[in-house]
Amino acid sequence: MLWKKTNIIIIIVVVVVVVVVVVVVVVVVVVVVVVVVVVVVVVVVVVEVVVVVVVVVVVVVVVVVVVVVVVVVVVVVVVVVVVVVVVVVVVVFGGGCGDDGAVVVVVVVVVEVVIVNGIQTSRRGYIFRSKQDE
């Protein structure tokens, strides 16, 4: 009977300790969150113009990066489609080694050169050109 009482006391003590720890952690977290919110509000109010400028710059940079990535992905997809179409045409219509094969090689090389130049131009961009590029 004594060990049952001891177990119950131990369980009660553990539960009380856990509840106290949880309450302390929650209070600390709430205090930290309140302090962070107050600091952020003060910083935003004091440096509102700078924050707006930074947000605008970040948005512009993100938009430019997304546009460049989309352009590169579209160009790569176009290259793959053109190469697949050319290969299918050569395989279906014969091609072999002769004039057809030479024409296919020329078409593929021209398409790749045009697309690679397009990618390089889009990466350089006109906004970021320096005096040396001109």
pLDDT, tens digit, 9 for 90 and up, residues 31-63 = 888 888 888 777 777 767 666 777 778 888 888
Mean pLDDT computed over every residue of the chain:
68
DSSP state of 98: S
Structure-model confidence comparison of residues 123 and 73, the more confident one: 73
What integer pLDDT is reported at residue 83 of this predicted model?
A: 65
- Statement: the pTM of the whole predicted model exceeds 0.85: no
Task: Tell me the DSSP string of 43-96.
Answer: HHHHTHHHHHHHHHHHHHHHHHHHHHHHHHHHHHHHHHHHHHHHHHHHHHT---
Per-residue pLDDT, 84: 67
Q: Name residue 26's amino acid.
A: V
What is the pLDDT averaged over residues 119-132? 50
